[in-house]
Amino acid sequence: MTPATPAADDGDNRLPQPLFDAVALRGQIRSFPANAILINEGDSTDSLYVVLSGRVKAYASSEEGREVVLTEYGPGEYFGELSIDGERRSASVKALEPCTCRVVQGAELHAFLAEYPDFALHLMRKLIGMVRRLTEQVRSLALQDVYSRVVRLLTDLSDPVTGEERMLRRKLTQQDIADRVGSSREMVNRVMKELTAGGYVAQREGRIVLLRKPPAAW
């Protein structure tokens, strides 16, 4: 199965076609319904998942059930590689929609790394990007208020439409936004109300639209 065309926010984490074809010969294909948990934080499993279709999210959660979304993966991307060190899973992964994955067991993954050093290089670049992204998330949580984090998220996840307008690539609820910026839904609701009242955001076709650039601070 060939990975779909990359979305604009998927970065450089998609496997090049030769590596995708090579890893596709290993493991088993498994399908998961929407909201299925593929990996639980703390698990001792060691499988690598290559997404063939659909989207999943990686997240961390508290004992009270609060979540913070770390990232999302789509077709051609992979997750679960941190299990290479033999430690327990550091995050959970849930299907955002029905999805299909190629699941490669740990022993097969080690053999694949030895046979395809290009995959090891791709993995290294991906992990470097992950560290950079998580460092930026920590900086944002520590140094920016909720308003600034929400505005930055909406900008990062949107594309230009016309003039100053930008539309989000996917539908996001206020809870989705809260999970991504490390805040409560109530606080995000207040920010969105302020942005709407100020004429900065609106809803169109079920998605958030940035009508013009919001101020840096409220």
Structural fold of domain 17-142: Jelly Rolls (2.60.120)
Residues of the chain with CATH 1.10.10.10: 145-210
Report pLDDT for 4. 38
**Tokens matching residue 146:** 């909720």
Report pLDDT for 6. 33
List, run by run, the mean pLDDT of 10-residue segments along the chain (218 residues).
37 82 90 96 93 94 83 93 89 96 92 91 91 84 87 93 91 92 92 95 93 86
Report pLDDT for 12. 59
Residues of the chain with CATH 2.60.120.10: 17-142
Determine if the pTM surpasses 0.75: no
CATH 1.10.10.10 for domain 145-210, yes or no, is yes
Q: Tell which residue, 19, 25, 129, 13, has the closest CA to residue 78.
A: 13
Report pLDDT for 190. 94
CA dihedral angle for residue 53, residue 58, residue 65, residue 144, rounded to 10 degrees: -130
